[in-house]
C-alpha cells in the first residue's frame, strides 16, 4: 500500500507542469480575439477620421464654408482691384539687360462666371526710368483666373491674359560734359501677362495680395520683358 501511495504522488508531480501550461494558454474572460483588420491597423498605425456623413475627410476640408476666403470667388461676384508695384527688377529690352526702377498701376475688374473661375480685364500704366532714359507704357487687355482657397484667410489667385500695349521711350545721349541729346521712339506690341498673388482676406469684401508677375512682348521689333513682385488691393461685391 505504501508503495502504491508513493507511485501515485510521483505521477501527480510529473503531471502538474503540463496542467499548468494548458491553463496559461487559455484566453481570459477580458481577452478579445484580434482580427486581421485590427492587426493591419496596428501594424500600419493609420487612423481615418470620418465626417458627419460618415465619409472620410479629405485634405481640402481645411476651410469653413463661411470663411472670408471661401466667400470670395462665388459665381456672380464682381472683384475690383488695383495692381501696383514699386520694384527694383531685371529687364531685357532688345537683348540689352539692365536694372531699372518701374512703377506700375493696373486697375482691373473681374467677374466670376463660375465658382472660383474669373474673367476680367485691366488697364495698365507702367513708368520705367533707368538713368536719364525713361519710358511710358499703356496697355489694355482681358484675363482669366482661378482662385484656390488655402485656409480661412488665405488663397492663391493666378491670372493670365494678354494685352495690347503702346510704349513711348525717351533716350538721352550725353555728347559732351555739358550737352545731351534726347530722342523718342514709339512702338505697339502684344504682350502676355501672368500674375500669381497670394491673397489675404482679413474680412469679407476686402482682400490684399502679393506675388510674382511676368509681362513679355510677343510681337514688335523691340520686345520687352518685365518681371518682379507686385501688390494688389481690392474688394468684391
Cβ–Cβ under 8 Å, residues 164 and 141? yes
CATH number of 68-236: 2.40.160.20
Which of these ranges, 35-39, 79-83, 132-136, 167-171, has the smallest mean pLDDT? 35-39
- Radius of gyration (Cα) for the chain, nearest Å? 37
Which tens digits make up the pLDDT trace of 173-223? 877 777 878 888 888 889 999 999 999 999 999 999 999 999 898 987 778
Q: What is the DSSP letter of 50?
A: B
Phi, psi of 6 (to 5 degrees): -65, -40
Q: Which sequence spans correspond to the domains of the chain? A: 68-236
CB atoms near residue 180 (< 10 Å) = 11
Residue 56 is given by DSSP the state B
* pLDDT band at 230; cut points 50, 70, 90: confident
Phi, psi of 123 (to 5 degrees): -115, 145
pTM of the complete model beyond 0.85: no
Q: Is a pLDDT exceeding 80 seen at residue 35?
A: no
What gap in Å lies between CA 149 and CA 156, rounded to an integer?
Answer: 7
Residue 83's nearest CA partner among 213, 225, 189 is 213
Give how far Cα 79 sits from Cα of 20, 42, 73, 143, 151, Å. Answer: 81, 50, 8, 13, 20
Alpha helices in the chain (DSSP H): 2-25, 36-44, 68-71
Question: Among candidates 211, 201, 199, 192, which has minimal Cα distance to 124?
Answer: 192
Amino acid at each position: 500500500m505504501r508503495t502504491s501511495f508513493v507511485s501515485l504522488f510521483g505521477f501527480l508531480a510529473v503531471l502538474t507542469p503540463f496542467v499548468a501550461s494548458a491553463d496559461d494558454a487559455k484566453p481570459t474572460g477580458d481577452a478579445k480575439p484580434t482580427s486581421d483588420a485590427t492587426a493591419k491597423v496596428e501594424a500600419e498605425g493609420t487612423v481615418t477620421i470620418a465626417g458627419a456623413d460618415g465619409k472620410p475627410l479629405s485634405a481640402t476640408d481645411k476651410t469653413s464654408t463661411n470663411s472670408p476666403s471661401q466667400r470670395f470667388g462665388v459665381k456672380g461676384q464682381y472683384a475690383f482691384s488695383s495692381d501696383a508695384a514699386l520694384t527694383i527688377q531685371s529687364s531685357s529690352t532688345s537683348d540689352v539687360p539692365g536694372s531699372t526702377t518701374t512703377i506700375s498701376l493696373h486697375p482691373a475688374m473681374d467677374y466670376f462666371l463660375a465658382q472660383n473661375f474669373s474673367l476680367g480685364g485691366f488697364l495698365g500704366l507702367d513708368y520705367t526710368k533707368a538713368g536719364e532714359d525713361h519710358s511710358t507704357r499703356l496697355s489694355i487687355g482681358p484675363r482669366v483666373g482661378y482662385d484656390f482657397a488655402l485656409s480661412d484667410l488665405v488663397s492663391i489667385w493666378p491670372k493670365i491674359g494678354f494685352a495690347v500695349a503702346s510704349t513711348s521711350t525717351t533716350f538721352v545721349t550725353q555728347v559732351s560734359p555739358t550737352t545731351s541729346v534726347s530722342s523718342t521712339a514709339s512702338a505697339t506690341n502684344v504682350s502676355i501677362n501672368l500674375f500669381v498673388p497670394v491673397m489675404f482676406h482679413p474680412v469679407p469684401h476686402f482682400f490684399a495680395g502679393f506675388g510674382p508677375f511676368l509681362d513679355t512682348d510677343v510681337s514688335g521689333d523691340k520686345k520687352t520683358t518685365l518681371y518682379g513682385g507686385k501688390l494688389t488691393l481690392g474688394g468684391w461685391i
